Each structure stands twice: as C-alpha cells, then as structure tokens.
Amino acid sequence: MVKIILLLTLSLSFAVLPANAQSWTTQDSTKTDGAQRLERYELVIGSALVFSLEDYVGYNLVKRNNSAPISYRILEGTIQTAISYFLYKTCGLSSAISFNLMWWTWNDDLAYYGWANVINPSGAWENRSNYGLRDPEPYWAWWTPIGLLRPKNSLIARSALFAQAAVGFSVSIGILW
C-alpha cells in the first residue's frame, strides 16, 4: 500500500508538469545567467529545507507509536507536489527535478534530523537525544534508491544513506547548473 502511494505521489508530482516543456529553465532577459542560477539554487535548497521542516513538525504532531497516519502521508505528498509545481513555474523543470531528487536520495531526511538537533524540543518529539539517526542501520529508508534495491524492512547501513545523500545532492546541484 505504501509503495502504491509513493508511486502515485511521484507520478502526480510530474503529471502536473507539461510533457512539452520547451526548456529546462525559464529565461528572464533582465537577469544574467549567474543570477538565474543563484536564484534556482536558493529556491530549490530553500524549498527542500521548508519541506523537511514541515515534515519534522507535521510528523511529530500526528505520530502514534512512531508511525504517521496515511492521511498525513497523502498531505505530505500534496505539499511536495505543490512545491514541485511552484519550482517548475518559477525556475523551470530542472528545479522541480532537482528538488524531488534531493527528497528521493534522503537529503530531506537528513535535514529532518538537522531540525531535530536545532529545535531540540523536550518530550516525545525527536530531538538530540532521541532520533532515528542513533540507529546504526536504519530500515525505514526503503523508498530511496538503495532501499528499493533491497528487500523491504532490511537494514541499510547509515554510511550508505549518507553516501547516497551526498551523491544525490551533488547531482541535484549539477542539474541546476
């Protein structure tokens, strides 16, 4: 069921993008190429940080037994789709692809844990002393490229997820160049 929702979310994310996009980036004759590139970086990275903050706050508000209801995951997919559409309309197709690639390669999850460290609330919320990166081998990243290559619920080395995130971030930034 979760894999179906993931596939629907990804499909919907790109269904709103026209198939006949004329270019990968928008052209604004009043801006230099460097200014346009910097704006794309700012918007994509900023959007990823906002999305991870929404995930951190939203998940911790609705979680029960370290799990979120399916309605939250649907809302999260809708927000991801809206951000993708915003990036597409503002900066072009490459920005929407870059944003989703960051999410898919676990960068938004790393930012989620970054928010847990920065905000550091007490109580049941994930914080510096109580968060998922303390597990030596997470299993919940099944939807990432590494996770999809493994049996569901199998352990994934944390170092592999960090490497995947680094490669995903590098490729995402390269797409924006």
Q: Does residue 22 lie within any of the structural domains?
A: no
Other C-beta atoms within 10 Å of 162: how many?
A: 13
Is residue 122 in some structural domain? yes
Chain CA centroid to CA 177, Å: 19
How far, CA to CA in Å, does 176 sit from each of 36, 66, 115, 136? 10, 35, 25, 33
Q: pLDDT band for position 138 (50/70/90)?
A: confident
**CA distance linking residue 81 with residue 75, whole number of Å:** 10
Domain of 140? Answer: 33-176
How confident is the model over 17-28, as a mean pLDDT? 43
Give the helix ranges, DSSP H, for 2-122: 2-15, 33-62, 70-91, 93-104, 107-119
What local confidence, expressed as pLDDT, does residue 29 receive? Answer: 52
Tens digit of each residue's pLDDT (9 = 90 or more) over 90-123:
999 999 999 999 999 999 999 999 999 999 998 8
pLDDT over 80 (residue 14): no
Query: Is 19 contained in some domain?
Result: no
Number of domains in the chain: 1
Flag whether 153 is in a domain: yes
Q: Is 6 within a domain?
A: no
Query: pLDDT tens across 51-62, in order?
Result: 999 999 999 999
Q: What is the chain's mean pLDDT, rounded? A: 85
